[in-house]
Structure 1
Amino acid sequence: MINEANARIESKLEVKAYLQDLKFALNNGAKIEFQAKRYIDYNRNEKYTNQYTVNTLFPDENPVDALKRELLSLTSEDYIQTVKDIRFPKRSEMRVFGKVYNGIDDVYI
């Protein structure tokens, strides 16, 4: 579970370092796996699923290629917060980014 008690804001320098590491990994063979069907999505409004978002924003693209491109385009200005998912305490924190697509669609990355 993620809530505000599990969130923090990193410094701009920390975010830039994270993005630098992410971009290095993506440009040097890191693999992205796109989960079209996730267990959590079964009871969720389809509009709020990864599959719907990717199919809507990038209808004619391979989802993995589109995700890689979008991850490589992230900047520190897109950063929102860093969160710890207490359901999985051994996993690393997640950095949350957001972008606006089509002038109106807020998308969390």
Structure 2
Amino acid sequence: MSDFEEYIKNKNPEDYVVLSTMYANQAMSELYPDQFEVWQHQGAEIELLKAQLSLQRDRNKALEIELTSSRNYGDKLNERIRKVSWLLGNNGFERTIKNCLKILRGEHE
């Protein structure tokens, strides 16, 4: 039994019994052509909405990954800034510059 036939059976149980007995060789879609056309149109709209929802979920997932990556990069930069700040306060000028360059290049990691 198709979904449409199940729908007709639940919506019009008495009619369904009578029609399926009288027209045993015909599908409900032939007996209810207008309702079947609406049924198909709604099904197509539902499939389109499902595809749009799936695409939006994929976009959201990509944005979450990008956001996590940006946060991680920001954390690394903050750590480098902290190390440079510490060096500026605790070392001689020449040594501080060399260490700052190493930190900024990521050579300290």
Query: What is the TM-score of this pair, normalised by structure 1?
Result: 0.20
Pick the structure with more helix per residue: 2
Larger radius of gyration: 2
Q: Which structure ranks higher in relative contact order (CA pairs < 8 Å, sequence separation ≥ 6)?
A: 1
Pick the structure with more strand per residue: 1
Query: What is the TM-score of this pair, normalised by structure 2?
Result: 0.20
